[in-house]
Structure 1
């Protein structure tokens, strides 16, 4: 009798183990398997929310099938204490494991609204945009001048949100003076800088910041990125270049940056100026002359006058020999690469060709023909600046 009871108990125990194992296996498959989402959503984790609250919200919004399984699986994987406040993009059919990973990964929000403070060569603008989860692209909400006395109500309201992402973007070719002036107008930064950073020392890049970030620390990060880029590229520079220091390469890079916005022709532009230096010719580049007039503190807003082309300044490359004493802007990585890896050409001249790029020439005769073609195009376009270098 006792043997029968023991046998039945053992059987029941084994059955229970099988049932429990089956439940665990089902739970694991449910936790790791595809989720119910048909299209991406932006899920927000409220500040201070518990795992139970988040689990229920996920189930209510159709992100997961079962809040209890999500909670148990997240606790079992030791992620329950790592929930991050913010808004996160959840992809279609994301498993519970994927969702838990998205909500506990480091860093800022991956969706929701973002402010991009863009500093361009001539102007600055603030763009508030919002991620469309279904299309996985940002949609602009409002755009405005950061110097505006009255900010758009959409921006004012969005700025109150704790999970709003903040980004600063510097365009290639912007001057250090312009960067600092515009950053001082950013109402989401704090502090100030005492001096304008040296020209060329700031990296044109995108910087994700937190609201209230220190301006001085941000500028230090911009300088650190540019210094790292220059050091990296200088270490692998081509042989036979005339630069004695990395700073001289940065001067050339800034000239290349201001002369063309076409990435593919930057090595050719660099070759023109290096070829001219090698032959003892003056660089004769308008952007340096303009910098001598404006000191980088504002766009010239007009064509150069003949008196300005004749006036002797340290930056007038129609008058001085060699390069100016400092960079004339903050060049991007591609322009630095071009200065340190110029194309192998015999070009000595270039002029705008009407397509946004330039026509290059080896001889003055060929260059004059290119200039004549540009003059014809220029006449139909209202007398734009021709750019490029002139003949001696």
Structure 2
């Protein structure tokens, strides 16, 4: 059947050169295709042939002369390069432009960004608020329900999703976003863990993910991440508590109002690293690759403390005395 269509196209093409069909074909090429209603999209199912596609576009009001579209595809050598997917049909688009979009696979895609340092619940809120991925109300599901839907029953979701910008077709769901981010984190974490430095004070890739999430929350300056990773590595090696505020805040949950009080530092939550020894039980945010790398490649040195300067950077100290001076200068002086 295909060779017959090709033969007819060749005959038709020859006829174009010698008669009025040529003028009509040129008019077809220069006339904009119709924009389907109510939505300007062309959805091509997998396995659709050129002839079936031309008939579909005629039914949907995109083409008035579908046989000319078949001729165009053969003349362009594109008859076997139809790609499934959903395509935007723009006003003023010519048949050749639409054919090019279809054969190049330029399907409709929408972007969504999961931000480094945000919590899992904040990521869900981002998805639910997106104009194309919203509607699933993922935030209404429990952590256990969501992880079961993703095929990871029993796993804690925090930190399991890689923060990045993702492109999806229009029919994607919020769960598709989570699944892709989860699979990406699996790959990134495995890659980084396989290249880790020796003699780290952590034993598993999951512990690296926990530590990376703390590093992510402690600084937004890329150049500081290895240094902060070094402080935490040395504290763990020496049996010191991590004493990091972001873990306290995470353990407080919705009770956190922007301030950490002395009572909060003493509260025995599973995440309060002023109280517990070692790492908290789960990550506290979505860490990026740089934070994961810093957890697995901590900077060498002798600093055991750091304090924020107030401009996003930190002062690193070797001794408690040096640290207390830095606290008085950069923290207590602000309140005084």
TM-score for both structures, normalised by structure 2 = 0.66
Secondary structure of the 1:229 match is helix
Q: Decide which structure has greater strand share.
A: 1
1:85-113 per-position Cα deviation (integer Å, ceiling 9, x unaligned): 3379xxxxxxxx9997566312435xxxx
Query: What's the offset of the Cα at 1:269?
Result: 0.5
Alignment correspondent of 1:230: 189
Higher RCO structure (Cα 8 Å, ≥6 apart):
2
Quote the residue 2:146 is aligned against: 195
| Structure 1 residue aligned with 2:152 | none
The one of 105, 109, 119 equivalent to 1:175 is 119
C-alpha change, 1:204 and 1:46, in structure 2 (3 Å) is closer
Q: Provide the secondary structure at the position in 2 that maps to 1:167.
A: strand
TM-score (ref. length: structure 1):
0.58
* One of 346, 356, 364 as aligned partner of 2:302: 346
Work out the CA distance in 2 between the residues paired with 1:315 and 1:256. 15
Cα distance, 1:270–1:98 mapped onto 2, change above 3 Å: farther
Secondary structure of 1:265's counterpart equals helix
Deviations 1:330-367 (A, max 9, x none): 21111111101111121111111233111111122222
RMSD: 3.7
Give the Cα–Cα distance (whole angstroms) in 2 for the partners of residues 195 and 99 of structure 1.
Answer: 39
Residue in 2 that maps onto 1:278: 237
2:170 maps to which residue? 211
Task: Within 5 Å, give how 1:64-213 maps onto structure 2.
Answer: 75-79=74-78, 82=82, 85-86=87-88, 104-109=103-108, 165-186=109-130, 188-189=132-133, 191=136, 192=138, 194-195=145-146, 198-213=157-172
Q: Which residue of 2 is the match for residue 135 of structure 1? A: none
Aligned 8 A contact 2:89 2:98 in 1: no
Alignment partners' CA distance in 2, 1:106 and 1:216? 24
Gaps of 5+ in 2: 1-34, 43-55, 91-95, 148-155
Does residue 293 of structure 2 align to residue 337 of structure 1? yes
Equivalent pair of 1:354/1:377 in contact (CA under 8 Å): no
How far 1:177 moved relative to its partner?
2.3
What is the alpha-carbon distance in structure 1 between the residues aligned to residue 170 and residue 178 of structure 2?
Answer: 15
